[in-house]
């Protein structure tokens, strides 16, 4: 299996990741009813985010913590939600890629989930 090497690789990962997550009855309402994400708009933003992390492109200019704090105030995100999110993320990466960048994505996702949970608890 190849390693993550291009923006197209990241686009594939984000698309497949969201297919998996939106297939989960526990997570789907958070994305479709609470956050009301538009995948056509949202997926390229996620690709920018991960491209910046992996390849230092600087294309992402958002504030994911602020977005998730706002979401958490509308619908409290639980440890279980983060565990599901992380499980889908790591399994999707592992399904398509292996190597340094793929491992970096999984490690960074764990870090992001951990920090986000801590900050959301502090905001409560």
In a domain, 1, yes or no: no
**In 58-99, which residue ranges form alpha helices assigned H by DSSP?**
64-74, 79-96
pLDDT digits (tens, 9 = 90+) for 62-82: 999 999 999 999 999 999 999
For 36-45, the CB contacts below 8 A with 24+ separation are: 43/11, 43/14, 43/15, 43/18, 44/11
Q: Sorting pLDDT into bands at 50, 70 and 90, what band is 123?
A: confident
Q: What do you get for the CA distance between the two ends of the chain, in Å?
A: 42
98, part of any domain: yes
* Domain tally, the chain: 1
- Asked whether residue 57 is assigned to any structural domain, the reply reads yes
* Residue 2, domain member (yes or no): no
Q: For 4-26, what is each residue's pLDDT tens digit?
A: 999 999 999 999 999 999 999 99
Query: Is residue 29, in this structure, part of any structural domain at all?
Result: yes
**Domain span holding position 33:** 7-123
| CATH number of the domain encompassing residue 40 | 1.10.490.10
């Amino acid at each position: 299996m190849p390693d993550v090497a291009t923006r197209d690789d990241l686009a594939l990962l984000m698309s497949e990741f969201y297919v998996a997550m939106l297939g989960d009855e526990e997570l789907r309402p958070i994305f479709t009813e609470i956050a009301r994400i538009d995948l056509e708009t949202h997926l390229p933003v996620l690709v920018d985010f991960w491209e910046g992390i992996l390849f230092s492109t600087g294309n992402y200019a958002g504030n994911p913590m602020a977005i998730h704090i706002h979401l958490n105030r509308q619908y409290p995100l639980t440890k279980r939600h983060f565990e599901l999110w992380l499980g889908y993320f790591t399994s999707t990466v592992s399904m398509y890629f292996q190597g340094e960048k793929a491992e970096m994505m999984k490690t960074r996702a764990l870090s992001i989930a951990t920090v986000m949970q801590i900050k959301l608890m502090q905001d409560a």
